[in-house]
Amino acid sequence: MAGEVKIDLSHAAEMDYPEHEKTYGLFIALFKWGSLGIVALLLGMMVGLIMGSGVIASVLTFVVVLVVGYLALR
């Protein structure tokens, strides 16, 4: 059997909480806006490719979803 392992953390740096919160906020923002972009892209592709509405309807759907998502998520 192995003995008890002791780890010396006296030299470890203190955690930088403001930087941690800043990084977390950036991660959440990137996740939120990235998800919106992917959903808008998929809906635009669905309208253009599956429904056969064409490029103009596809781009219009993409822009409308982006605007509605922006207004909902800000």
Centroid of chain to Cα 51:
28
Predicted confidence at residue 34, as pLDDT, reads 97
In this predicted model, what pLDDT tens digit does every residue of 3-14 receive, in sequence order?
788 877 666 667
Helix (H) or strand (E) holding 20: helix 17-45
Centroid of chain to Cα 15:
25
Q: Ramachandran region of residue 52, left (φ > 0), alpha (ψ -120 to 50) or beta?
A: left
Name every residue whose Cβ is closer than 8 Å to that of residue 69 and which is 6 or more positions away in sequence.
Answer: 36, 39, 40
In this predicted model, what pLDDT tens digit does every residue of 21-36 receive, in sequence order?
999 999 999 999 999 9
